[in-house]
Amino acid sequence: MSAVADPHGAPIVDPRARRRRLLRKRFLRRPVAVAGLVVVLGFVVVAVFAPWIAPHTSGFTDFDHTLAKPGGRYPLGTDELGHDELSRVIWGARSSMQVGVLATLLAMAIAVPIGMVAGYYRGWIDTVIARATDVLLSFPFVILAVGLAAILGPSLTNATLALGIGSIPAFIRIARGETLALREEDYVPAAIANGATDRTIIFRHILPNMTSTLLVQATLTIPGAIVGEAVLSFLGLGVQPPQTSWGVMLQTAQDYLSQAPRLAIFPGVALVLAVLAFNVFGDGLRDILDPRTTR
Amino acid sequence: MADPLLEVSDLSVRFDTDDGLVHAVDKMSFSLAPGEVLGIVGESGCGKSVTCMSLTRLLPETATVTGSAVFGGRDLLTLAPRSLRRVRGREISYVFQEPMTSLNPVFTVGHQIDEVLRRHLDLSRRAARARALELLRLVRIPAPERRLDEYPHQLSGGMRQRVMIAIALACDPKVLIADEPTTALDVTIQAGILDLMRDIRDRLGTAIVLITHNLGVVADVADRVVVMYAGRKAEEAPVDDLFAHPQHPYTIGLLGAIPRPYEGEDTRRRLQEIPGRVPSLRELPNACAFADRCPRADELTRSEIPQLREVRPKHWVACFHPGS
């Protein structure tokens, strides 16, 4: 092999640094996506630093000031047990983010390799995986998650597991479908002709070509899991006191809708905002990651 | 001739399809000397690509390959998958017809060259990048430093084909198999790519198998030509002898179909087409495959398969009635 030094003295620039710069420039040109990112980051910061940000713990009760109006000591008021509403929204963000992100990561970690193996090798293994996925997909996501949570028992961890497992079939289907299409691309035989192993082809050639699709699916799954967690908690299958979540808050707010609609509005707004932010951020991400995008 | 680099004998490929067996290649034999450019010519579907794909077993599982392909003392057709992967891309590389889609769209050109280098030669990131740059210069891509960090969609078709050639040459292979490397390109760019092929052979001594349906391309670059018809070898000759003294009526037909606008007194000469179509490869009758389209066909042609005969020095033909 010849010399390492470039005889023409061309500067050797790290191509990844250039790509990062380009992506940042493209992203900043999309104000809605930037707003989505800001809100998502806001929720993430709130979730991570909840113990320092929240004025009170989620279990804190002030029985002298139940159903207090917003203002003064309790900026968003209190609920029927004297929980500080602001603190509860903040702690709820922690539960929601945790469930949304972890459930999605769990689903991807399990489903993507399975789906890719099915799509790449085809044959009987594909038939088995695809049919099993179809069966699971015939259950609505929430029903599946409720069923799993009921079996596993109520807790935040089990809600995460249930929502993650419930999201697996959709990811398998997408990973399999993308792999089926991508394995027919001309660069696959070209890579085989250059001595690539199956593993190299699956993970280094096919997987990177489906990242944008997976990202879109993830940005649908995270808010789906956030809503799912709210549903499970609303049904009493999610987090248990003294922990709280937006679903728990919505559930207790039901009984006081006429006297204190704000008890439903605050967690509801937080939920909608988080879900919306993830969606617009994901859309922007998909646009900029597409190598065919020029602006 | 020096010891052959690659010796293919009695190579047959059958495809097991839903409609029965298809005999894509029937008892092909050929050899390739070091530094030689071998042209394989024939119509679409005559088995040229299948022959070459079968050498490193790139065909789908529906294909059954028999015969042998000895390369460096080993039969590629029975080599273990691990050893085979070390041959692919390192000792025998391919350049395919579709430069537009044979590069992975999500990686830079440099990354894709690096990948092959690092897989086979275990180079460091820096060394691989320097070598990639050197390869881009070798295939004469303008502004190679910039191209390294560009994505395939930023390059023209001709440049992409040059990148494919750079990838194929990355590990200094002994054999380069170019499957219709110029078919998808503009005529002016074709000339540049063929020029590059010649240059590669001269400078690196790489043996090249050039698959094409274009005799003009062969005349330009090849040393020796194999003409294939319906999965069999019809004729094999050094390139000059083939053009000066074609023996097989099929070869003569192919030559008559080349447009030659500035030749002779009658510049409006009509192109001669070969009547009829390539026969189905389902049934292989006991006859010359070209019989139905051949002006010289007779009883013998229709009742027996012609064997290869050496009619002139190093000039072989499978025909009962050879001659120009």
The ipTM, to two decimals, is 0.84
Pick from B85, B98, B151: CB nearest A186: B98
Domain A22-289 sits in which CATH superfamily? MetI-like (1.10.3720.10)
What per-residue confidence (pLDDT) applies to A117?
95
What's the first-to-final CA gap in chain B, in angstroms?
Answer: 26
Question: In this predicted model, what pLDDT tens digit does every residue of B265-324 receive, in sequence order?
Answer: 555 667 777 877 777 777 777 888 888 888 888 888 888 889 998 988 899 999 998 887
Mean pLDDT of A253-267: 88
Question: In this predicted model, what pLDDT tens digit does every residue of B181-204 receive, in sequence order?
Answer: 888 788 888 888 888 989 899 999
Sole residue written with tokens 């459930």: A103
Determine the residue of chain B that is closest to A189 in CA distance.
B58
Question: In this predicted model, what pLDDT tens digit does every residue of B217-237 receive, in sequence order?
Answer: 888 889 999 999 988 999 999
Can you count the helices (H) and strands (E) in chain A?
Answer: 12, 0
Question: In this predicted model, what pLDDT tens digit does every residue of A224-233 receive, in sequence order?
Answer: 999 999 999 8
Within 8 A of A185 by CB-CB distance, chain B residues are 101, 104
Mean pLDDT of A273-285: 89
- Whether the CA torsion A241, A246, A247, A252 is positive or negative: it is positive
Q: Report yes or no: A191 at the B interface, CB cutoff 8 Å.
A: yes
Q: How confident is the model at residue B11 (pLDDT cuts 50, 70, 90)?
A: very high
What per-residue confidence (pLDDT) applies to B192?
87
Q: How confident is the model at residue A93 (pLDDT cuts 50, 70, 90)?
A: very high
What per-residue confidence (pLDDT) applies to A3?
37
Q: List the one residue out of A258, A230, B74, B131 whose CA is nearest residue B82.
A: B74
Helix (H, G, I), strand (E, B) or coil at B318: coil
Within 8 A of B109 by CB-CB distance, chain A residues are none
Q: What are phi and psi of B225, to 5 degrees?
A: -130, 140
Q: Report yes or no: A290 at the B interface, CB cutoff 8 Å.
A: no
Mean pLDDT of A203-226: 88
In a 13 Å sphere around the CA of A95, the CA atoms on its Cβ side amount to 34
Tokens representing residue B11 in the block: 């190579």
Determine the residue of chain B that is closest to A205 in CA distance.
B104
What per-residue confidence (pLDDT) applies to A164?
94
- What count of other Cβ atoms lies within 10 Å of the Cβ of residue A63? 8
Kindly calculate the radius of gyration of chain A based on its CA atoms and give it in whole angstroms. 23
Buried b (16+ CB within 10 A) or exposed e, A196-225: beeebbbebbbbebbebebebbbbbbbbbb
Interchain pair A4, B149: CB under 8 A: no
Cα(B105)–Cα(A67) distance, integer angstroms: 59
